[in-house]
Amino acid sequence: MTHSPRWIVYLSMILVTTLASADADGPSPFQRNFLDQFPDLHKVILKTKATTTPDAQHAAVEALIRRLLPPKDAARFLFDVNPSAFSDPAVDTAKITSNGKVVRILGNSGTACTFALYDFLKYQCGCQVAWSGRQLTLPAVFPVITRVVRKADWLHYYQNVCTASYSSVWWNWTRWEQEIDWMALQGINFPLAFTGQEEMWRRVYTKRGLNDDDLASFFVGPAFLAWGRMGNIRRWDGPLSAHWLNGQVELQHKILERMASLGIIPILPAFGGIVPEALQRIYPQMKYSRLQSWSHFPDNMTRSYLLDPSDPLYVSLGQEFIHEVKG
């Protein structure tokens, strides 16, 4: 057994953020060099796009504005989602046309329409939608304009892996609904969606022969999930109750359904190699390393176990986890 550098755990995060930050004109030389090291993954990312139908995205945009504005104000905005409306379907683009009474927005995706909506509200009406509050008083007569808005990036990435533990782990559906609306208005179409993954791991490891006590010494409490997922700590402030785990899965279903309806592409979790200590009992020959201690936690709550990627168990566990996530 050997010590392993912590960067292995973060590799997938680096891949995602590097790919997502490429602008509409393509990757920078640094990004291109990085992508060349992972050609298969690059091909997958280039094919990344929303699969929700234009009609479904249109309905979701209409529902969003009804949540955002009173009925009379919402009726002053008309939307059309047409993926072939502009020359480059990969980059969110929309045309805003206002005759003073009604605003028509033609976008090539749901997020293009919502991005354009907020552009008009913010820059033509002096409105704001923020985490701390909203100002949505509309003028009696809109400015008369015709304007095309185009996002600079083809994918707009949002959040980092610590966001859950800093904030969103305590959110209910009402708060998540507000956040997803905010994402859509900002033109975000590539956010992390990590809620509920502990239940997926519980299912995988239970099928492999681990019991509740084994998992209680692995999972951390809700406020520390980010650092448990990254392998910084284990068992701290746990265990997680069945009620909490099931509630998080139910919440994730709502999150994913709403994101997809708007044309938002969620980034789902995958296997990074961190495994429970008790897995050694089931697979005594498994190859692993121990991470170094972290932030003065005692050894029995840190120094996580990192499965060697060359071990066949690594691939099979990853496949089983993805199967659970997709199911």
What are residue 78's DSSP bridge partners?
104
Does residue 239 have a cis peptide bond before it, meaning omega lies within 30 degrees of 0? yes
Q: Other CB atoms closer than 10 Å to residue 253's CB: what's the count?
A: 12
C-alpha dist (Å) from residue 225 to 194, 271, 294: 10, 15, 15
Rounded to whole angstroms, the Cα distance separating 228 from 161 reads 11
Q: What is the pLDDT along the chain (327 residues), one digit of tens a residue?
A: 433 333 333 344 444 444 444 444 555 666 666 667 767 766 666 666 778 999 999 999 999 999 999 999 999 999 999 999 999 888 999 999 999 999 999 999 999 999 999 999 999 999 999 999 999 999 999 999 999 999 988 889 999 889 888 899 999 999 999 999 999 999 999 999 999 999 999 999 999 999 999 999 999 999 999 999 999 999 999 999 999 999 999 999 999 999 999 999 999 999 999 999 999 999 999 999 999 999 999 999 999 999 999 999 999 999 999 999 988
CA angle 203, 207, 209 (to 5 degrees): 120
Helices 39-46 and 29-36, axial angle in degrees (round to 10): 110
CA angle 215, 217, 223 (to 5 degrees): 90
pLDDT at residue 2, as a whole number = 38
Sheet-wide strand order for 103-107: 77-81, 103-107, 93-98, 145-150
pLDDT at residue 49, as a whole number = 72
pLDDT at residue 230, as a whole number = 94
pLDDT at residue 4, as a whole number = 37
